[in-house]
Amino acid sequence: MIEITNLEIGYKSKGKHNTVFKGINLHLHAGDLVGLIGDNGIGKSTLLKTITGNLAPLAGDIKINNKPSSQFTAQQLAQLLSIVVTEKIGGFNLTVWDVVATGRTPTLIFLGN
């Protein structure tokens, strides 16, 4: 379960907060199918990056399975959460198989399977 309370998302720049959206409250349960829609630049990707730990929240709380997300390591978060963004990432010549297989990375042991 993901529980979000009074979340403020955005970016920190030169000591200032550039708020994209605030007052976000949300409860997601295992098995829920959620669509996130909105105009370009409204904060959809910023929200997802904040939930997955790629951006720090400006304010508010994110709990995953009743534990603050800040208490998870990057690897632990990767084992619990994943996102597929629509932004094209250049510089890689990967097949579809390679891209899908990278989703297994957090669960692999070094040189293992």
CATH number of the domain where residue 103 is located: 3.40.50.300
Question: What does the alpha-carbon distance between residue 85 and residue 97 come to, in Å, rounded to a whole number?
Answer: 17
- Residue 56 structural domain: 2-107
Residue 113 lies in a domain: no
Domain-embedded: residue 27: yes
Q: Which two tokens stand for residue 65?
A: 């399975």
Indicate the number of domains in the chain.
1
pTM of the model: 0.73
In a domain, 74, yes or no: yes
Question: How distant, in Å, are the alpha carbons of 14, 40, 50, 111 from that of 8?
Answer: 18, 18, 10, 40
Q: Is residue 112 part of a domain?
A: no
Tens of pLDDT, residue by residue over 47-86, are 999 999 889 999 999 999 999 999 999 889 888 887 776 6
Mean pLDDT of 14-21: 88
Tell whether 96 is covered by a domain. yes
